[in-house]
Amino acid sequence: MGLELKNLYDDFRDGNTIKAYAKIIKEDAKKLKNQINIMEVCGGHTHTIMKYGLPQLLPSNIKFIHGPGCPVCIMPKERIDHAYVLSMVEDVILVTLGDMIKVPGSNGSLQDARSRGSDVRFVYSPLECLKIANENPTKKIIFFAIGFETTTPMTAALLDAVIKKDIKNIFFHINHVTVPEVMRELIDSRDEHVDSYNNKIDAFLGPSHVSVISGSKIYEEFPRDYNRLVVVSGFEPVDVMQAISMIVKQFIEGRCELEIEYKRLVTYDGNLKAQELIERYFDKRDLFKWRGLGNIPKSGLKLKPEFKEYDAEIIYKDILPIGEIEDHKLCICGDILRGMANPPECTIFGTACKPTSPIGSCMVSSEGACAAYYKYGNLR
Ligand code: SF4
Ligand code: SF4
């Protein structure tokens, strides 16, 4: 039998291996002095944890907290409104990634904008903008760029191609965010409105894709300065169970370290070429607003000033709305993203708010905590 892609994953989804890890964790957890709360900061992990029912396999003194892992969920309405307004400009084609088109802003989602006549397209790779620009030479293509360190190099690669090919009709609205800054915010906020000192996070499950790009080095400060251990984990259920087992062992042995479970793809240094590409084109913003979490210092990226001719936020600044927008008053996405509440605690979970009619962002993307609970939590 030839090797197929699905066979490569089989071992990492094997029920017996998952159960064997559950047994080891249960035995080890008897030696824990206190309950441990583990926050995953990757939407892919949230999805795996819920899909494979991992919380039910763990002893009662080990709990998951679902953090701000999905780039769609953390996008504030103000930025979605920017995309909406840009999409309504007559000669603009607005391009973005996947689920972003379903997130409601204050005027509706990008999907709504499309039904009102604007040209909104979604792509799997930013480089698809090159083809769209080539086929529509009289239009302005604005790439509404979202995502963590994972997708930032792809946006940088698109800009690199635009400059090298001297393409005149591709522009960028940058909404890239970075992971260490939000992890720091969750345990050591400088914002007087956020009671981060009351957080319940004992350990972090480090994200998968992000760490492939940035390397595990970006988490060094957490065990060192904040006494929070980090284990970088792969996506599959066996990966997550192995990472949990590594976390429990650290607690039992009194260690607080940065470790990598996902050794088949993550190194300490990460992908240096991708990091160089990010450095070349992006600067840190002083502040970036995260939905439900507020303004987080140095957590967002923007184009460097020398690339301002490609920056849609500068070119269209006169038409982009600037006011602050409140979220729906019943939505507790903010508490969920801070690990202070679980989706079923929201009074409109599964009733007024469902994947087909999302009110908050955590219900939109399949990586969002509310959507994962709705699909796999067996709670409706
Ligand atoms: S992009 Fe990858 S690493 Fe980042 S949140 Fe999504 S699944 Fe996790
Ligand atoms: S169920 Fe909907 S309204 Fe409630 S927190 Fe989740 S996304 Fe927000």
pLDDT in tens, 230-277: 999 999 999 999 999 999 999 999 999 999 999 999 999 999 999 999
Question: 313 or 4: which carries more pLDDT confidence?
Answer: 313
The predicted structure's pLDDT at residue 175: 97
The predicted structure's pLDDT at residue 71: 85
321 assigned to some structural domain: no
Range of the domain at 103: 77-179+270-316
Task: Tell me: do 42 and 86 sit in the same domain.
Answer: no
Give distance in angstroms: CA of 282 to centre of ligand 1. 20
Ligand nearest to the CA of 42: 1
| Residue after which a domain boundary falls, among 260, 278, 297 | 260
Task: Tell me: do 161 and 298 sit in the same domain.
Answer: yes
Task: Tell me: do 206 and 150 sit in the same domain.
Answer: no
Residue of 40, 70, 219 with the most ligand 1 atoms within 8 Å of its CB, for mutation? 70
325 assigned to some structural domain: no
Segment 106-158, tens digit of pLDDT: 888 999 999 999 999 999 999 999 999 999 999 999 999 999 999 999 999 99
CA pair distance 3, 11, nearest whole angstrom? 13
Task: Tell me: do 106 and 173 sit in the same domain.
Answer: yes
84 assigned to some structural domain: yes
Task: Tell me: do 241 and 192 sit in the same domain.
Answer: yes
Give distance in angstroms: CA of 43 to centre of ligand 1. 6
Name the band, by pLDDT with cuts 50, 70 and 90, for residue 70: confident
39-53, 184-198, 266-280, 311-325: least confidently modelled range: 184-198
123 assigned to some structural domain: yes
Name the band, by pLDDT with cuts 50, 70 and 90, for residue 1: very low
Task: Tell me: do 207 and 254 sit in the same domain.
Answer: yes
CA pair distance 269, 221, nearest whole angstrom? 15
Ligand 1 atom having least distance to the Cα of 179: 4
Give the residue, by CA position, lying nearest to ligand 2 atom 3. 331
Task: Tell me: do 193 and 248 sit in the same domain.
Answer: yes
328 assigned to some structural domain: no
Task: Tell me: do 218 and 361 sit in the same domain.
Answer: no
Task: Tell me: do 276 and 132 sit in the same domain.
Answer: yes
The predicted structure's pLDDT at residue 323: 87
Choose among 92, 127, 122, 90: nearest CA to 109: 122
Task: Tell me: do 128 and 231 sit in the same domain.
Answer: no
Task: Tell me: do 309 and 348 sit in the same domain.
Answer: no
Task: Tell me: do 194 and 216 sit in the same domain.
Answer: yes
Give me the CATH number covering residue 108: 3.40.50.11740
